[in-house]
Structure 1
Amino acid sequence: MPLRLIKTLLTFLAIALVLGACSRIDLAYRNLDRLVPWSLGDYLAMNRQQKSLLDERLKEHLAWHCKTQLPGYLDWLDRIRLMVANDAVTDQALQQRTDEARQAIGRVAEEITPSATELLRGMNDSQVAEMRQAFRDDIAERHKEYVDTPLAKQVEQRATRMQKRLEPWLGELNAQQRLRVMSWSQALGDQNRQWIANRAHWQQQLVLVMDQRATPSFEPRLAQLLQRKESLWTPEYKAAFQNTEQQARSLLVDLMKQSSPQQKTLLQQRLGKVRTDFSELKCLKG
């Protein structure tokens, strides 16, 4: 439930860094309070009281987020744009931007933890059982889609997905860039397996915590799951995640070096539009 909100906000935080393809970020942000409940339907059916509480808390958290966090995101986007304008997209600079985004996500997690505690503590046994089954179905579906596929096909599909994400921001990739995207995908190897295994591990930990929701240990354990999830990662996933981040930074550095003036201009325009969309949100203006 709160995890979905964190992930959605993370999408906005990382949109410039990972060059996602969303063209109406402002529209999605304005409707987060409507979008999040729909996504929760994949995991559990809430009763009327729970829906009302979720709706109330989402509005409160989004108001807090817009007033106190978005101004910092505008500055963050400005730093991204300056990097591109100055041909200063380096591994070190990207690592700094990633750390800043991670800190922002941490603030969101801390803000919503009390609401998450109240919402999840109020779930009944039937809802917890429903969540447990939904998690099993989620892992089975992802395993079928991302792991059962032969590795060579996984690499090809991953490269295709990345190319589709990049092209709205850079335009059509040239031959050198397409080769670089493929080499990036190959370097990630069998990371899908570790990603899904770690996802299953986190979900299992949440289910165990839910079994303790009537005890004093519930809130601190849930806080760890939401705010310090890295502390619960499997050793294999920690290594895979570090490699994934390193490979992503390397990819972006190389793509910028290989970009034409037209591609850099398009990227600046798109980043500028993202900033404008955020800066013109009514909640930010007052």
Structure 2
Amino acid sequence: MARRRHLLIPLLICSLLLGACSRVGLAYRNLDVIIPWTLNDYLDMNREQKSWFNQRLQLHLSWHCTTQLPGYLDWLDRLQSMVQSDQVSDEALQQRTREAKQAIAETARQIVPSAVELLQGLDDGQVAEMNNALAKDQQEHREQYLKPSLAQQVEQRSQRMSKRLKSWIGPLSPSQQRRIEQWSASLGEQNQQWVANRIHWQAQFSAAVAQRQNSDFPQRIEQLLVNREQLWTEDYRQAYARTEQAARHLLVDLMATSSLEQRQRLLKKIDGVRQDFAELKCLQNARQAPP
């Protein structure tokens, strides 16, 4: 919704699909605890709402683990194969990205009815609180991403990317670090377009929730959660295409200049994420169940 834009998606996407945490299985096992805390940043649910939400969350997690995780394992296999065979190309990364987006959309589509029911049950005080939280979120993003000078934004973006990459492939060579700096500089004022689009999305979300009893509310929430790209600003739509392309080119170049040690570390990290998923009890139980 605000910081992560969607009601029930927060870590369910970032941690599960993209492996943002090095121990994804641990994050997954605790989603039923983490997600309510995330929601509490924006909503003060009453006891009845919390009880309903916890029951619905367990159903979603069970569905996700048994129906979606097998596909994630296949996705990680394809990613690992790309690295092992030295086939990290722009075309291959585009395909992995399309697959990831499809997985995200499938999960978003599944939780739409629950998001609709939860939002329709909010009273005016809760909606006002949510809107205040969104306004605070917007101010925080302006302060963090727009207040620094453009040169500082470029440097901070480079530092964030370097930190993420180091966790996956280890220490970067001087030429790799320079390539990251070049990538960051090429994005220019991308922060401005990203924050503006975030605020634009949140405004549409707030407008929809204000009319949550209207008959078209479920369709509006589905568009906001599943087909959100249709609601992007034109500036961000163009910027996103450039940003995605620049990221792919960066990864291709970094892998082309990677050392054997870096590739081995990356393969080990991918394998670790895969193992975390494979060892989840809910997935093992699903595989053992009779057809």
CA distance in 2, matches of 1:13, 1:176: 31
* Alignment match, 1:221: 220
CA distance in 2, matches of 1:161, 1:95: 22
1:272 aligned partner, one-letter code: D
* Alignment match, 2:289: none
1:1-286 equivalences under 5 Å are 3-15=6-18, 20=20, 22-286=21-285
CA distance in 2, matches of 1:7, 1:40: 9
RMSD: 1.2
CA distance in 2, matches of 1:243, 1:13: 26
In the TM superposition, what whole-angstrom CA distance separates every residue of 1:233-261 from its partner, at most 9, and x where no partner exists?
00001011111110110110000001001
Q: 8 Å contact 2:23–2:272 — kept in the other structure?
A: no
Q: 8 Å contact 2:65–2:282 — kept in the other structure?
A: yes
1:9 aligned partner, one-letter code: L
Secondary structure of the residue aligned to 2:8 is helix
Task: Determine what percentage of the aligned residue pairs are the same residue.
Answer: 53
- The 3 A distance-change label for structure 1 pair 28 and 238 is same
Displacement of 1:13: 4.9
Displacement of 1:223: 1.0
CA distance in 2, matches of 1:222, 1:76: 28
- The 3 A distance-change label for structure 1 pair 266 and 228 is same
Q: 8 Å contact 1:33–1:59 — kept in the other structure?
A: yes
In the TM superposition, what whole-angstrom CA distance separates every residue of 1:125-145 from its partner, at most 9, and x where no partner exists?
011111111111110111011
Name stretches of at least 5 consecutive residues in structure 1 with no aligned partner. none
In the TM superposition, what whole-angstrom CA distance separates every residue of 1:91-115 from its partner, at most 9, and x where no partner exists?
0000000000100111101100000
1:58 aligned partner, one-letter code: L
CA distance in 1, matches of 2:48, 2:175: 55
CA distance in 2, matches of 1:8, 1:162: 20
Q: How many residues align structurally?
A: 282
1:224 aligned partner, one-letter code: Q
Secondary structure of the residue aligned to 1:43 is coil
Give the TM-score of the pair, scaled to structure 2.
0.94
Secondary structure of the residue aligned to 1:3 is coil
Secondary structure of the residue aligned to 2:25 is helix
Displacement of 1:211: 1.4
Displacement of 1:15: 2.4
In the TM superposition, what whole-angstrom CA distance separates every residue of 1:64-96 from its partner, at most 9, and x where no partner exists?
000000000000000000000000000000000
Name stretches of at least 5 consecutive residues in structure 2 with no aligned partner. 286-291
Q: 8 Å contact 1:191–1:240 — kept in the other structure?
A: yes
CA distance in 1, matches of 2:66, 2:209: 32
Displacement of 1:187: 1.0
Q: 8 Å contact 2:168–2:269 — kept in the other structure?
A: yes
CA distance in 2, matches of 1:4, 1:111: 12
Secondary structure of the residue aligned to 2:6 is helix
CA distance in 1, matches of 2:163, 2:118: 37
Secondary structure of the residue aligned to 1:5 is coil
Displacement of 1:168: 1.6
CA distance in 2, matches of 1:128, 1:264: 48
CA distance in 2, matches of 1:36, 1:49: 17
